[in-house]
Amino acid sequence: MIPEHDPLHGAAPDTLAVRAGQVRSAEGEHSEALFLTSSYVFANAAEAAARFSGERAGNVYSRYTNPSVRTFEQRIAALEGAEQAVATASGMAAILSTCMALLQAGDHLVCSRSVFGTTTVLFDKFLAKFGVTTTFVELTDLDAWRAAIGSRTRLLFLETPSNPLAEIADLGALAELARSRGVLLAVDNCFCTPVLQRPLDWGADIVIHSATKYLDGQGRCLGGVVLGRAELMAEVLGFIRSAGPTLSPFNAWVFTKGLETLRLRMEAHSASALALAEWLAVHPAVERVFYAGLPDHPGHELARRQQRAFGGVLSFRVRGGREQAWQVIDATRILSLTANLGDAKTTIVHPATTTHGRLSPADKASSGITENLIRIAVGLEDLADIRADLARGLDAL
């Protein structure tokens, strides 16, 4: 959050996105400097002692703090409207660090069934080893969330829109439920970014990002960030200092520069995805499109209320099965066949055999990951070229 004495206090998001968190060095550089240093020197022994004891503020070691990392943290915190941010080495490190800092053996968490696959593995396989149990529920079923909360429940965890079927969670209702039961609500806001959705405004306690996706925006670096109230973030930072899943200053610097163009990019991704979804919805080889921007999507009204636009990710089912889906994917000559998203380059993937390949056939069926499903993360290329590349395979079906 920007303090009152700061000239950026009260500034609009577009201004914060390019200026928040910058600290100029004595060199007077205009663009943000990159502080590639693991440690810091002290003027004298007394200064070193004061900094180590915490009596005096200042950098000690880059596992704890680094000016480039701090700039990124302050800028994303300003955009999410968070008191504080703690950057991490990856999105998964952000999720792990949140859990390690805020949960203990015997605690329970409730998680949406439709979260990033590795998040499910982290909760189900690794947190369980330390006595933290998870109940998975249907993202959009408020009664299921309510019923799953028990006396040891500490945290509700979700993503909205979900991947790849773009289901929408009611953030206000879930935040109200969390508050009434004295548990924390954490939202992985990776698909929307603060440009499209600010979960803290709806009452969430914690926001998490894989910065690897849209915050970078060009598919270069891994990173993550956790945001929320200062007292919660102090716990998360305490874990990072002790365990070391720290964000590299270089990656932080890339993300800081990424934030400067985030709004323009998210608007372009969203506009192209909406146009592509509308085109796919009437294509004779397409059975169904999943994108909350389409009026017949079950989450459309809710998404309109809590998001500024519908984002860059959509999925669709072709008529047929795996063979037809693979034909469409293999016929593309421009799109990138890769699981990543949030890139300037459009990506295409077959969830059932890649991102969701670990699910059992029963879980795939119950979560709608059918063999004829294709996911697209729409990039910044000319829309006509993206459409023509998809049409190569679709028109031949």
Question: Tell me, what DSSP letter sits at residue 247?
Answer: P
Candidates 285, 354, 286, 284; CA nearest to 315 is 286
Residue 105 half-sphere exposure, CB side, CA atoms within 13 Å?
3
Determine which residue in the list 69, 78, 86, 92 makes contact with ligand PLP, applying CB under 6 A: 92
Indicate the residue among 190 and 276 with the shorter CB distance to ligand PLP. 190
Applying CB under 6 A, the span of 75-83, 90-98, 141-149, 294-302 interacting with ligand PLP comes to 90-98
Q: Please give the structure tokens belonging to residue 337.
A: 């066949």
Distance from C-alpha of 98 to C-alpha of 75, rounded to nearest angstrom: 20
Give the H or E element holding residue 241: helix 230-243
Q: Applying CB under 6 A, does 224 fall inside the site for ligand PLP?
A: yes
Applying CB under 6 A, the span of 62-70, 206-214, 247-255, 361-369 interacting with ligand PLP comes to 206-214
The backbone torsions φ and ψ at residue 348, rounded to the nearest 5 degrees and listed phi first, read: -135, 140
Residues 101-130 that bind ligand PLP (CB under 6 A): 116
Distance from C-alpha of 37 to C-alpha of 250, rounded to nearest angstrom: 10
Q: Applying CB under 6 A, does 84 fall inside the site for ligand PLP?
A: no
Applying CB under 6 A, the span of 45-53, 86-94, 128-136, 251-259 interacting with ligand PLP comes to 86-94
Helices (H), 25-66: 45-53
- 53 CB contacts (<8 Å, ≥6 apart)? none
| Min dist. Cβ of residue 222 to ligand PLP (A) | 5
CB 98 within 8 A of CB 186: yes
Q: Applying CB under 6 A, does 87 fall inside the site for ligand PLP?
A: no
| Min dist. Cβ of residue 357 to ligand PLP (A) | 16
| Min dist. Cβ of residue 359 to ligand PLP (A) | 16
Q: Applying CB under 6 A, does 188 fall inside the site for ligand PLP?
A: yes
Instruction: Count CB atoms within 10 A of the CB of residue 47.
Output: 13
Q: Please give the structure tokens belonging to residue 231.
A: 């007292």
**Interface mask toward ligand PLP for 125-164; x: CB under 6 A:** ----------------------------------x-----
Distance from C-alpha of 253 to C-alpha of 242, rounded to nearest angstrom: 23
Determine which residue in the list 51, 70, 213, 283 makes contact with ligand PLP, applying CB under 6 A: 213
3-state secondary structure of 154: strand
Q: Applying CB under 6 A, does 216 fall inside the site for ligand PLP?
A: no
Indicate the residue among 67 and 312 with the shorter CB distance to ligand PLP. 312
Q: Please give the structure tokens belonging to residue 177.
A: 């439920």
Indicate the residue among 90 and 140 with the shorter CB distance to ligand PLP. 90
Q: Please give the structure tokens belonging to residue 189.
A: 């806001």
Q: Applying CB under 6 A, does 222 fall inside the site for ligand PLP?
A: yes
Q: Applying CB under 6 A, does 91 fall inside the site for ligand PLP?
A: yes
Q: Applying CB under 6 A, does 170 fall inside the site for ligand PLP?
A: no
Applying CB under 6 A, the span of 44-52, 171-179, 208-216, 381-389 interacting with ligand PLP comes to 208-216
Q: Applying CB under 6 A, does 324 fall inside the site for ligand PLP?
A: no
Indicate the residue among 187 and 200 with the shorter CB distance to ligand PLP. 187
Distances (CA, A) of 192 to 105, 170, 205, 267: 32, 14, 17, 11
* Sole residue written with tokens 């709004």: 263
| Min dist. Cβ of residue 51 to ligand PLP (A) | 31
Distances (CA, A) of 133 to 111, 152, 240: 10, 10, 22
Q: Please give the structure tokens belonging to residue 122.
A: 């982290």
CB 287 within 8 A of CB 317: yes
| Min dist. Cβ of residue 116 to ligand PLP (A) | 4
Q: Applying CB under 6 A, does 367 fall inside the site for ligand PLP?
A: no
Q: Applying CB under 6 A, does 247 fall inside the site for ligand PLP?
A: no
| Min dist. Cβ of residue 382 to ligand PLP (A) | 25
Distances (CA, A) of 51 to 59, 239, 259: 7, 19, 31
Determine which residue in the list 68, 74, 90, 98 makes contact with ligand PLP, applying CB under 6 A: 90
Residues in contact with ligand PLP by the rule CB under 6 A: 90-92, 116, 159, 188, 190, 210, 212-213, 222, 224
